[in-house]
């Protein structure tokens, strides 16, 4: 069932080359002093039950700096007499463990295949840190991931032993390195964009498959299965966030993830699902009628959301404030809802953040950064001023309108009852204007109506 769609995929891109990881490490350490030491711990594997674990996903920062995906590791970057050294602590090779759980690169694999200068077994971390801390002052570390490591660093800073007293050596400050990493990760390289483009292509085809298999009686979970099955079939590691598959009134619940109801003719389904590929996220929402034909009311709302999304995407331009797409989307939505008689205020009043009626039907932001995390890092308002868009930044554009007839807080107009529409694409800002990474995903009313329901399992 996936063969046709897979045949339409582009070839998978090359992995990020090691020299690029070196450049990223260099851009980070160029902001440090020689007495700084930088430590990131990967999260532990999380237990699902007994000896079964959840799908493992390592630290996005470790992926960004080294491309290492294996669990239970720590990355230390330290200065050794004027030279920065990248040191990876990993699970050592262990034949018995590897027979049960899979092959490990181990210390040898880390050294031979990754952009690291030194590699050690995890069991050596404590001793190495004790040694390296003696010539360190500031420890760049974000706590809360590996509590044992947190305690170790905390103790090193608080220790009042003889070397500290005699020579003044040892760390005195712990500082969160996230702001440095976030600034770097906010601007995507050509290689990162290639990975994101592939994730976007996979997700676009997955949505199209779900459209093709939509018909009266299909269960939300069946459409979810098609989408997520295709993610794996196409070489993605899985979803970038739990899929939202909601039909009828469920389409009006922004982060609905129960995904277990039968879809009926007359209803609109909203699917927000994106694949993760080599750590990179995609994030697409499409909304379509289960019957394959929009009703007049559904068409009115869909056209309005699409118009607002197009205006917002056009605003994803170098030099614009990151708030401009949101402002554009809100303005178009407010004007449209006034024209439809759903809002009875002036445009200006409708947009008022406190008393404007637009909030009743459009209550979320239009954009977020996207990259290694679906809600990617990067401060939106550094120092309180909205960030200016630059080439290489990637953001989603996802306006929506949600008429939940079940809501006790609003009087939902009857003809729009339980219509939930969101249209979401991932956009790369370039010097030549916005590039829609997810443009392969059908979006116009004509395309959607020609696709929905035209394939059976
Ligand atoms: N999929 C979550 C979001 O759109 O932000
Ligand atoms: Mn999103
Ligand atoms: Mn989304």
Neighbours of ion ligand 3 (CB under 5 A): 272, 283, 285, 424
Sheet with 244-247, edge to edge strand ranges: 244-247, 268-273, 284-289
Q: Tally Cβ neighbours within 10 Å of residue 446.
A: 8
Length of the chain: 457
Pick from 272, 270, 265, 274: nearest CA to 287: 270
Ligand nearest to the CA of 397: 2
CA–centroid distance, 379 to ligand 2, in Å, is 16
Q: What is the pLDDT of residue 169?
A: 81
422-427-430 Cα angle (round to 5): 155
* Residue 98 among the catalytic residues: no
Q: Which of 394, 398, 441 to mutate to test the pocket of ligand 1 (most atoms within 8 A of CB)?
A: 398
Q: Active site residue: 185, 326, 360, 422, which one?
A: 422
Q: Is the dihedral angle over the CA atoms 211, 213, 214, 215 positive or is it negative?
A: positive
Tokens of residue 376, six digits: 């990617």
> Dihedral through CA 258, CA 262, CA 266, CA 268, nearest 10?
30
- The reported pTM is 0.97
Q: Which atom of ligand 1 is nearest to the CA of 424?
A: 4
> Dihedral through CA 429, CA 432, CA 433, CA 438, nearest 10?
-70
Mean pLDDT by 10 residues, the chain (457 residues): 93 98 98 97 96 96 98 97 98 97 97 98 97 95 96 92 81 96 98 98 98 98 98 97 98 98 98 98 98 98 99 98 98 98 98 97 98 98 96 98 98 98 99 98 98 87
Q: What is the pLDDT of residue 1?
A: 86
**Which domains, and CATH codes, for the chain?**
31-183 (3.40.350.10), 187-451 (3.90.230.10)
Cβ(6)–Cβ(233) below 8 Å: yes
């Amino acid at each position: 069932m996936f063969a046709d769609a897979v045949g339409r995929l582009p070839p998978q891109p090359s992995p990020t080359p090691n020299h690029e990881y070196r450049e990223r490490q260099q851009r980070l350490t160029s902001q440090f002093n020689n007495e700084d030491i930088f430590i990131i711990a990967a999260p532990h594997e999380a237990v699902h039950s007994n000896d079964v674990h959840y799908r493992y996903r390592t630290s996005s920062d470790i992926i960004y700096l080294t491309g290492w995906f294996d669990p239970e590791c720590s990355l230390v970057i330290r200065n050794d007499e004027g030279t920065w050294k990248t040191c990876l602590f990993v699970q050592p090779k262990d034949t018995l463990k590897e027979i049960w759980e899979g092959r490990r690169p181990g210390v040898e694999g880390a050294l031979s295949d990754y952009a690291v200068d030194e590699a050690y077994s995890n069991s050596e971390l404590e001793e190495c840190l004790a040694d390296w801390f003696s010539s360190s002052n500031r420890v760049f570390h974000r706590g809360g991931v590996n509590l044992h490591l947190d305690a170790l660093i905390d103790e090193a800073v608080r220790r009042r032993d003889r070397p500290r007293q005699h020579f003044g050596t040892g760390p005195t400050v712990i500082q969160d390195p996230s702001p440095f990493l976030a600034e770097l990760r906010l601007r995507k390289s050509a290689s990162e964009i290639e990975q994101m483009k592939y994730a976007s292509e996979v997700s676009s085809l997955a949505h199209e498959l779900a459209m093709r298999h939509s018909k009266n009686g299909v269960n939300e979970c069946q459409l979810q299965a098609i989408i997520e099955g295709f993610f794996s079939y196409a070489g993605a590691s899985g979803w970038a966030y739990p899929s939202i598959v909601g039909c009828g009134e469920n389409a009006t619940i922004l982060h609905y993830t129960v995904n277990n109801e039968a879809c009926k003719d007359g209803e609109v389904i909203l699917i927000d699902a994106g694949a993760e590929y080599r750590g990179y996220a995609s994030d697409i929402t499409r909304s379509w009628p289960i019957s394959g034909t929009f009703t007049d009311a559904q068409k009115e709302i869909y056209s309005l959301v699409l118009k607002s999304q197009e205006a917002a995407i056009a605003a994803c331009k170098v030099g614009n404030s990151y708030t401009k797409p949101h402002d554009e989307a809100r303005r178009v939505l407010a004007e449209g809802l006034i024209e439809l008689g759903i809002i009875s205020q002036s445009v200006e009043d409708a947009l008022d953040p406190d008393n404007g009626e637009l909030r009743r039907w459009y209550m979320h932001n239009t954009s977020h950064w996207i990259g290694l995390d679906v809600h990617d890092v990067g401060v939106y308002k550094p120092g309180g001023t909205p960030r200016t868009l630059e080439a290489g930044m990637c953001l989603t554009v996802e306006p929506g309108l949600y008429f939940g007839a079940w809501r006790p807080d609003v009087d939902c107009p009857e003809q729009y009852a339980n219509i939930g529409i969101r249209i979401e694409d991932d956009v790369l800002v370039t010097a030549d204007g916005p590039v829609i990474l997810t443009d392969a995903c059908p979006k116009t009313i004509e395309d959607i109506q020609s696709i929905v329901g035209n394939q059976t399992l």
